[in-house]
Each structure stands twice: as C-alpha cells, then as structure tokens.
Amino acid sequence: MASYIIKRLLTAIPVIIGLSIIVFLIMAMIPGDPALALLGSYATPENVARINRDLGLDRSLPEQYFIWVANLVQGDFGRSYILNRPVIDEVLERLSATLILAGVSLVLCSVFGLIAGIVSAVRQFGWTDRIVTFFVLIGISMPAFWLGLIFILVFAVQLRVLPASGMYAVYGGGDLPDLLRHLIMPAVTLAIVATGVIARLTRAAMLEVLRQDFVRTARAKGLNERTVIFKHALRAALVSIIPVIGVQAGFVLGGAVYIETVFQWPGLGAMLVQAVSTRDLLLVQGGVLVAATLYVLVNLAADVAQAMLDPRLKS
C-alpha cells in the first residue's frame, strides 16, 4: 500500500505543475493593470512603472512564472499588495472556513446520497424509487446559488429562524451553536446537487451488484437481507462509488466560490472573488493553487480508499 501511495503522489506532481502554469497564464491574460488597481487616483505613469517594477510585472512571462515557482518552493507565496500581508497567511486564514463548509457539505452529500441510492436500488421501480428519483432530479436541476437565495428568503427573511449571512453573529455568539446555525443553509445548499449525483450513481452501482452471483449465493444461504445489502452488496459497490465522491469533493470546493459569496461566508471562495475584482494576482494564484492541491489530495485519498476495498487496483 505504501508503494501505491507513493506512486499516486508522484503522478500528482505533474498535475499540480500543470495547474500552476494554467493559473498563472489565466491571471496574466486578465485585462487590466494591477498597478492601476492598486494606485487608483494616484496612478501616474511614474508610480505605475515603479509598482510594476517592484512586483516584477515588467519582466517577461516566463521570468515571472519561474520567479513565482522558485518562491513557492521556499514556502513564499508572495505578498498581497491590496491587503498588504503575506498571501499564505490570508489563504490559510480563509481556508479553515472553507474546509468547515466544504467538509460538512461533503459529509452530508455522501451520507444522504448513499442512503437515497441504496433505498432506490433495493426498492427498484417501487414508489420509494420513484419518489427518490423525483427529488434527486430536482436537486440536480436547480442552480445552487438560486437555491441559496431561496433559502435566505424563506428561512432568514420570512421565518427568521436562521441567519442570512456570515460565519458568526456580529454581536455575541462565536461559539459552536452559533457556528452551526450559520452553517446550516450554506452547507445544505452546497450539498444538494452533489447528493443527487451520488444518489444516482449509487443506485446504478447497487443495481449492478445486486444482480451478481455472490449476492444470490448470500441470499440462498439464508443471510438476513440487511446483511446482504450492507455487508456484501454495498462493500462491492463502494469500489465504483468512492471515485464519484472524490469528484464531488472537487465540485464542493469549486461551488464554495459562489455559495460563500451568496451567504457572505468568509472563506477561500469569497477571498478569490474579491482578489480577482482587485487584480490581486499573487493572492489569486496562491488561493487557486492551494484549492487545486487540496482537490488533488482528496482524490488521492479516494484512490487509496478504493484500492483498499479492491486490491486488484494496486497493480
């Protein structure tokens, strides 16, 4: 297993390098001058030239990229010239909020997606299957940001049972119950679409497994139906389901950008939106690279879990 993990880590390195190049080039192609965004009304030609020289923006793109990468290797993500603080400090501070939101959303969509998919497969073509399929299709079809706005309108504005925005109350609060109250709407909003995807693929995987000979044999031995479903069929189906959960982890991280904006959640996504609007290049590059690396590591964990369930994949 150790050799398999090392092999997967080595294959992830070119992916991260490729991501760094793509992120760098995309930010370089965005119209506008960071020096003008930084200086505002003080943007004289001399000041713009000085800022570009200080930021290294007067160099060629290959030079800028290799300087950035050389600093990254040393743990230096640069300094945000809008916030006037190290990029890594701002990213790590925001990352904790995003991990809380994305982690809870991933747990919700995994648990409810698995349950819905299993129930739908076991009750194939029954009323339960039709009801689950109906709600799954609705969940997949609805844009998450629109659903978030509806939640705010209903639960925050009309019913006034949940806070509309933020991570903690402005006055008072700051404890775990306060965090959970603020977390409910954004976490559920972010999890709904992923829940539908996992439920549909879980249903398909379970239906395929339930038709296998070893399941018929287990039933013929007189095993309890719950044991057959959860101990035998689900274990075999998880080999196909776990990679899907890994992919949905990426969707959750990506979806956090607009969900955090809708709910004013102080995470990495909201930071990136603000950094893009102000052309804070180093902050955007550092934030996107950290998020992409996290996604690669989550998929690595999914691959390892899949290999543990099916040793044939290690070869």
Q: Which pLDDT score is estimated for 101?
A: 92
The per-residue pLDDT for 125 is: 83
Q: pTM of this prediction?
A: 0.83
Take residue 145 and report the two structure tokens written for it: 């940001």
Determine the pLDDT at residue 42.
64
Instruction: Single out the residue of 80, 4, 70, 72 nearest to residue 38, CA to CA.
Output: 80
Nearest to 94 by CA among 272, 246, 243: 272
Maximum Cα–Cα distance across the chain:
85
DSSP 8-class letter at 79: E
Give tens-digit pLDDT for 73-122. Answer: 888 888 887 788 888 999 988 888 999 999 999 999 999 999 999 999 88
Mean pLDDT score of the chain, rounded to an integer? 83
| Among 158, 145, 153, 157, residue whose Cα is nearest residue 189 | 145
- Residue 184 confidence (pLDDT): 93
For the chain, the domains span 2-84, 87-314
Of 3.40.50.1100, 1.20.1560.10, 1.10.3720.10, 2.60.120.590, the CATH number of 87-314 is 1.10.3720.10
Q: How far is Cα 116 from Cα 1, in angstroms, rounded to an integer? A: 32
Residue 151 pLDDT > 80, yes or no?
Answer: yes
Alpha helices (runs of H) in the chain, residue ranges in sequence order: 2-29, 34-39, 45-55, 61-73, 87-122, 127-141, 144-151, 176-210, 213-220, 225-227, 234-263, 268-277, 281-309
265-287 per-position pLDDT tens digit: 888 888 888 888 777 888 888 88
